[in-house]
Structure 1
Amino acid sequence: RLRRMSALTVGVWGYGRIGRRTAEKFRGLGCRVIAHDPYATAGPPAELVGLDEMLAEADILTLHMPPSPDGPAITAEILGRMKPDALLVNTARGALVDNAALIAALDAGVIGGAALDVVAGEPELPPALVAHQRTILTPHVAFSSRESLVELRSRTAEDVVRVLRGDQARNPFPG
């Protein structure tokens, strides 16, 4: 069902640099933007809320956090707490989503759909996910523009210089 962007609530899970930039873009489209991140400080453009509130209110849930050693963030239990017509968007890391739980949720109509640029197990993709009518899959290209690659190289070089000077990197590799 088609809806006005201004009528949508977008939940941003992970409110670091990329999550905040994503929130700005959705806010610019007129969406209400809420975010959940236990490590982030509050600030525009999103209102920080608890996980329960975000899952219950988000029409679109977009993921922007690193994977956890504890397993996927998006499980059957989490999917079951989302709105029945909600859209899950993952451009962060494939390991954030339990593929089997997502397929089952899509099959059962637990959520409305999923847009995925990354999938656990890449490059092998679950055939049921690829063929599902409620998924949009892109080939891990969300960060592949020329400008993004120039920015990536520049930030990497700047961080190398920072570390060599004895300062902390601004964009440390998680792990």
Structure 2
Amino acid sequence: MTNGIDRRRLMKPRIIVTRRWPDAVEHILAERFDTTFNRGDAPLKPIELKAAFQAFDAILPTVSDSLPASLFPESDSRTRIIANYGVGFSHIDIDAARAQGIVVTNTPGVLTDCTADIALSLLLAVARRAGEGERQLRAGEWAGWCPTHMIGAKVTGKTIGIIGMGRIGKATAKRAHFGFDMDVVFYNRSKVDDEETRAMGARQLPTIEDVLAEADFVSLHCPGGAANRHLINAERLAAMKPGAFLINTARGDVVDQAALVAALESGKLAGAGLDVFDGEPVVPEGLTRLENVVLLPHLGSATEETRVAMGMKAVDNLTAFFDGKEVPDRVV
């Protein structure tokens, strides 16, 4: 009998996982919690996400799940923690969570290397026209080698500009400098002066415009959300060096996509490499029809090791929270 005792405290916390996660992580979640999985793996509708706040102790969303203030209950939310699967959390209204006393966590650190690898993959692919070349070959249109065929841009020895010198920004800069002898300039809101940046000879410049003016390749590694929406707009694209390249593995809303299309069509920019888009999974036709753009379907963290590690970060955050311990990766 449990007279006088809240029975819910004796039960496993009830959680919902909004998308399919790696099997190894789902197995652990099923063991530790009363878990509802989205076996169909289709994004939940807003009405389903809204209902989840009243039905579950924890919601485990991904970047594909928008949680604006309108979905949060006005009071008495059953949900006590949102354990986000990913580093970025601009899809979650943090103020609404704070007002409801809901803890929000993320999964930092474990996707740094793989996202930096994708940034360099995009940089190399767009500079050397690898996407164009593969499309031409697969279409049976390649007529054979000739001296003027599909001339691209040299990468080695050029200057890379990093916008946002956090974990991923540093990892990308390190690959560019030590792998391709690139000079590194960067912009970051706070001062960055550590062994990593000094070893690369990286120079912090006072404004984004200063970085854009010097860099042959600009790689974005800043947070998304309202504060940085269209951080790279028409004016800043115009401030880039003629013939420069833009790489984005951060968040799609950081770039004004219409302005980017215009800069690419005009020849102001030589090309762009994009792993993220504003309003995913929709990609503007203006981008898909351009040959000088390499487009990837948000593959930054898409390795088995990283996706499992992200899931285990979320498991650790949930376990600590429900055990009454300090949450490792608390955002709110």
TM-score by length of 2: 0.48
Would you say 1:105 and 2:105 are equivalent positions?
Answer: no
Deviations 1:145-174 (A, max 9, x none): 11211231233344456665336637x38x
CA contact 1:15–1:40 (8 Å) conserved in 2: no
In structure 2, distance between residues paired with 1:79 and 1:39: 23
Quote the residue 1:60 is aligned against. 217
For the residue of structure 2 that corresponds to 1:72, the secondary structure is coil
Quote the residue 2:326 is aligned against. 166
Shift of 1:11: 0.6
For the residue of structure 2 that corresponds to 1:142, the secondary structure is coil
Deviations 1:2-49 (A, max 9, x none): 3141x2100110111111111111112211111111125223133211
CA contact 1:67–1:73 (8 Å) conserved in 2: no
In structure 1, distance between residues paired with 2:296 and 2:209: 29
Deviations 1:101-131 (A, max 9, x none): 0001111111111100111121111111111
In structure 2, distance between residues paired with 1:47 and 1:165: 40
Higher relative contact order (CA closer than 8 Å, sequence separation 6+):
2
Amino acid at match of 1:42: D
Quote the residue 2:170 is aligned against. 20
In structure 2, distance between residues paired with 1:8 and 1:129: 26
Would you say 1:47 and 2:197 are equivalent positions?
Answer: no
Change in CA separation of 1:111 and 1:41 when aligned onto 2, cut-off 3 Å:
same
Change in CA separation of 1:97 and 1:141 when aligned onto 2, cut-off 3 Å:
same
Shift of 1:93: 0.6
Amino acid at match of 2:286: A
Q: Which has the larger radius of gyration?
A: 2
In structure 2, distance between residues paired with 1:86 and 1:48: 19
For the residue of structure 2 that corresponds to 1:62, the secondary structure is strand
Would you say 1:36 and 2:36 are equivalent positions?
Answer: no
TM-score by length of 1: 0.87
Amino acid at match of 1:66: P
Quote the residue 2:226 is aligned against. 69
Q: How large is the Cα RMSD of the aligned pairs?
A: 2.0
In structure 1, distance between residues paired with 2:236 and 2:242: 12
Quote the residue 1:115 is aligned against. 273
CA contact 1:56–1:82 (8 Å) conserved in 2: yes
CA contact 1:93–1:119 (8 Å) conserved in 2: yes
CA contact 1:162–1:169 (8 Å) conserved in 2: no
Deviations 1:69-111 (A, max 9, x none): 1421110000000011111001111111111000011111111
In structure 2, distance between residues paired with 1:162 and 1:20: 30
Candidates 116, 128, 135, aligned match of 2:293: 135
